[in-house]
Structure formats: structure tokens, C-alpha cells
Amino acid sequence: MKLLLIEDNGQLAHWLSKTLADEGFLVDHAPDGETAASLLHDARYDVVLLDLNLPGMSGKALLRRMRDQANDTPVLVLTATGDVGEKVICLSAGADDYVVKPFDDRELIARIKVLARRHAPARSNRIRCGTLLYDLDRRQFFVDEEPLSLTPREHAVLEALILQAGRTVSKSVLAEAINDGDAPPSSDAIEIYVSRLRKKLETSSAAIITLRGLGYLLEHVDPQA
């Protein structure tokens, strides 16, 4: 099981990383929100352990950013206060659970395992990006619960994007997704499919963003923005 520990206290981070590694977890550590955002962009984790009081981007801001980008990785907040109002704010922002410092390492490990177990089935068959939903079992896209009509190649491109929602997908990966065994699709062909998909997603809160020289990413956007 792979964890991301986001904690700016070096001593606590070292102890937690060792404790979790001794339990068989793979642990990446980020000392601040910006580093964590970069790691979340490049890798997938089973559970995120998030300290709220981070330098730069706060833990709450990072949590909101994750959820806005359709990253549904379970988040366990590490908070220094047992204040009910603080807990409510964290849960409303998208946290799945919280523990109050100082905590017993056995309780923390138990909560991590419960979160991973609870979220694994839900994440295995449905992926959501804003109002765009992909049912993996049926291989069907929906916008606001209505089926989205796509050609086979449009479907392949959108599938490749939503499986990495919030992360950059290169043109070469998209080309591989729609390669039918004949000549590989050109860069222009990829752009045509992306353009068609953008039109079909206009009524949704999901958008395909172009990152020049890198590829594309699918992310949740505010329709009112």
C-alpha cells in the first residue's frame, strides 16, 4: 500500500515514515503543499496523510485543490486540535477522516487500513470528474447522469484522460490508446478528437486542458468561472 505523508515537522515525519514502513507501507514524504501537489500529479496513492499547518499552501487549500481536480484519494487529516468546528471544516473540504495529535501509532495504522479498504471498491468501477462520470464496468460515460454519445476513438481518448484525471497525458499515450494496428494516428488527428470531445463536454464541469509541449489533462472546472 502506497501512502503520501504531508508533514512539515521533520522529526515527526521521520518517525511516522519509519513506523509506517515497518508496517509494510511504501511512504513518500512531502514537507509542504507545493511538493505534495507535484507528487499527487505524478503518482497515485492509496491514502494521503495530511497535516493542516503547512508552509506556503495550507493543508486545507491542498485538500480543496485535490477534490477540485477530481482526485478522490482518501485523505486522513493530522490535526493538532480536537475542536469540533475544525473537524467539520476538514470533512466539508473533502477529508475522509482525522486523528488528533498526539496519536497512538496503532490507531493511525488501523484508520489507514480502514480508509484504504473502504475506498478501494468504490474507486474500482466508477470515476468522476465534475459532472462527468465514467462507469468502468459498463465502459459508459455520463454527463449529469445522461449517457454521452461517443465514437470508438473519442471514447478511447476520453477514457485515457479520465483514468489519469488531473494528471498530464501525453499525445503519444493518446495515440497508443486509439491505435488500431494500422498506421499510428498523427498529432493532428489527436487534436481533432480532443476538439470534438471539448464540444461534447461543454455542458459538463469537466474540461480538457492543453499543456503545450506536454499533452492534455482532464480536470474539473467551475462552470461559472
pLDDT value for 87: 79
Indicate the number of domains in the chain. 2
Same domain assignment for residues 154 and 206: yes
Question: Per-residue pLDDT tens for 7-20?
Answer: 999 999 999 999 99
pTM (two decimals):
0.56
CB 171 within 8 A of CB 217: no
Domain boundary among 92, 124, 156: 124
pLDDT value for 221: 84
As a whole number, mean pLDDT of residues 33-53 equals 90
- Asked whether residue 225 is assigned to any structural domain, the reply reads no
Same domain assignment for residues 103 and 160: no
Question: Per-residue pLDDT tens for 140-153?
Answer: 999 988 999 999 99
Same domain assignment for residues 13 and 95: yes
| DSSP codes, the chain | -EEEEE-S-HHHHHHHHHHHHHTT-EEEEESSHHHHHHHHHH---SEEEEES--SSS-HHHHHHHHHHTT----EEEEES---HHHHHHHHHHT--EEEESS--HHHHHHHHHHHHHHHHHHHHHEEEETTEEEETTTTEEEETTEEPP--HHHHHHHHHHHTTTTS-B-HHHHHHHH--SSSPPPHHHHHHHHHHHHHHTTTSSEEEEEETTTEEEEEE--TT-
Same domain assignment for residues 162 and 195: yes
CATH number at residue 212: 1.10.10.10
State the residue range of the domain holding 111. 2-124
Residue with cell 488531473: 166
pLDDT band at 182 (very low <50, low <70, confident <90, very high): low
